[in-house]
Amino acid sequence: MTKLIQWQEIKNSRVILRLDLNVPIKDNAIESDFRISKSLPVIKELLKRNNQLIILSHLGRPSVEKREASLSLRIVCEHLSSMLDERIKFINLVTDNMAFDDYKIIMLENMRFYKGEVENDPELARIISTHGDVFVFDAFGVSHRRESSTIGLMNFLDYAAGPLVESEVNAAKSILEDPDKPLCTIISGAKISTKITLIETFSDKADYLILGGGLLNTYLYCKGFELGDSLIERDLQQDILNFFESENAKKIIMPIDFVCSSDVSLDNPKTKSISMVQSKDKVLDIGTKSIKRYAEIIKKSSTVFWNGPLGYVEKKPYGKGTESIINVLADSNCFSVIGGGDTVSVIESMGVENKISYISTGGGALLKYIEGKDMSIIKKLGL
């Protein structure tokens, strides 16, 4: 029978360490090593205690029938080796007999290359477990995924929650259970149907709700505003319509103006008041007056939770709204928690990571935790 242990007590052991090294890669280069950097503390601390590490991770969503070279973890292995200044042995194939030689760190190939990983095949978990003494789970980004390399290994080895998972859960609890007030939540995304549970979760707790992207467009569309050719979810579910009519919907902070374009190329941006958007316009960012209104709200908030950029940040100049609000947060004294890859990427590009209270590696896992979805891995870890 396996049991929960404390990761700080592990020493002189062979540790199977599940990390989330699912980083963005383009043209065979890592675009952001944020998640790798966040995994360094547990690696260094376990090495200090004379442990040998077997690192597991996934990268992307490959097909098990074809090992896509672009989704190999080899480039991540090389990058991690450079960051640690430590040799790492890379192993392409998980078998019962794997030679680790005298390496302090071993990294296995992308776990999703293996048949049975996403189905939580116990045989795959068993084979991996035979090479370790204990299992440390420090991959919050997949804490909602019941897979062989996540919860599967906990059936074969004593297991522990790593420090990153602990800090992620503590950050989420700090904004859910007893946040300093006023609490402002900023929620953006393409479809409101994918975020309605999140919005409803915070609508009772938050003092202010700021919406962005397709969520904001859809909300304004339901209120009768002209949004032109903007991203809108027109086929709404009844629960969304019910929320728009609820008392909590009054907490939504209305924008004043937008940055729009009517060109197919999205060039020639124009700032328009909310009432002046025309049928051929595409709303792509918030305008300067909206930025000012949102900044005033944030400045008087004690806690801010943010998920999703406020504009089309992939194309200039439609990231100005997001960048401006990031600067406001960076200069404020509030406790801020930010989750969601696109927003995090903007923060990194601006170099203000250290001015944000907590930046989550979680993405979907963070949202599911906040929404109160079944997180059996987190429960098993006693968090």
Nearest to 90 by CA among 100, 327, 380: 100
Give me the CATH topology for the region 169-370: Rossmann fold (3.40.50)
Give the containing element (helix H, strand E) for 108.
strand 105-108
Q: What is the pLDDT of residue 129?
A: 96
Alpha helices per DSSP H over 9-59? 34-48
Topology of domain 7-161, CATH: Rossmann fold (3.40.50)
pLDDT in tens, the chain (383 residues): 999 999 999 999 999 999 999 999 989 999 999 999 999 999 999 999 999 999 999 999 998 778 888 999 999 999 999 999 999 999 988 877 777 888 999 999 999 999 999 999 999 999 999 999 999 999 999 999 999 999 999 999 999 999 999 999 999 999 999 899 999 999 998 888 888 888 989 988 999 999 999 999 999 998 899 999 998 988 887 888 888 888 989 999 999 999 999 988 888 899 999 999 999 999 999 999 999 999 999 999 999 999 999 999 999 999 999 999 999 999 999 999 998 768 888 999 999 999 999 999 988 899 899 988 889 999 999 99
Distance CA 118, CA 345 (A): 27
Per-residue confidence (pLDDT) for residue 125, from 0 to 100? 96
State the Cα–Cα distance between residues 89 and 158, nearest whole angstrom.
24
* pLDDT at res. 286: 97
Q: What is the pLDDT of residue 128?
A: 95
- The whole-number pLDDT of residue 192 equals 85
Residues of the chain with CATH 3.40.50.1260: 7-161, 169-370
